[in-house]
Amino acid sequence: MRTKNEFRAIRERVGMTQALLARKMGVSQRSVRYWEDPDSMRKPPEEAWQILDDALELQRMGLSNAVRIADDPMFKDGNLSVRLPYWLNESQYEEFSTDAAYGICGDWRMANANNMALALRLEERGLSVEWVGGNPARPEGLKLVE
C-alpha cells in the first residue's frame, strides 16, 4: 500500500508544488495538503498518484537518455563541462525554455528538479556541471519562434 509519505516524496522529487498538482487535478491546494497530512483521513486519489507517476517516469526517461549520451566514449576526455539551466522564476523559464517545443508539460520548478537529478548522475560519472541562466542550448538573447 502506498503511503502519504511516498506521495509527498514523489511530488517533491519531480519538483511539483501542491498548487500545480491541485491545478492539474482541478481541486484546491487544501485538498492536496489533506492528502499529505498524516493526521488527515483523506488519501490521495488514484488520479493524483497517476499524475505523479507519469511525472516521475518522464524524469526517469530523461535522465536515462541524458546519461546514455554522457556515457558515450567521445565525452570521456575528462575536460567536459555540461551546461544545465537553473531557472530562477517562471518568466525566465517561459522565455528561454525549449520544454514546450518538445511537448514537455510542467513548470520551472519541475525543470529544476529534473536538472538537479541529472547533475548528480553526471557528476557521478566524472563530468562537471555548470549552472547557467537562460537556455544553454541557444545563444543568450535568442528567443524561440512560435
Tell me how far apart the alpha carbons of residues 117 and 82 are, in angstroms, rounded to a whole number: 13
Q: What SS3 string covers 8-64?
A: HHHHHHCCCCHHHHHHHHCCCHHHHHHHHCCCCCCCCCHHHHHHHHHHHHHHHHHHH
pTM of the model: 0.79
Range(s) of the domain holding residue 41: 4-132
User: 143 falls in which pLDDT band (50, 70, 90)?
Assistant: very low
For residue 38, tell me if it sits in a domain: yes
For residue 143, tell me if it sits in a domain: no
**Do 129 and 122 meet the contact criterion of CB atoms below 8 Å apart?**
yes
Task: Determine the average pLDDT of the residues in 94-115.
Answer: 77
Tell me how far apart the alpha carbons of residues 57 and 99 are, in angstroms, rounded to a whole number: 16
Tell me how far apart the alpha carbons of residues 113 and 121 are, in angstroms, rounded to a whole number: 13
Domains in the chain: how many in total? 1
For residue 138, tell me if it sits in a domain: no
* Paired strand residues for 128: 81
> Which CATH number fits the domain that encloses residue 117?
1.10.3100.10
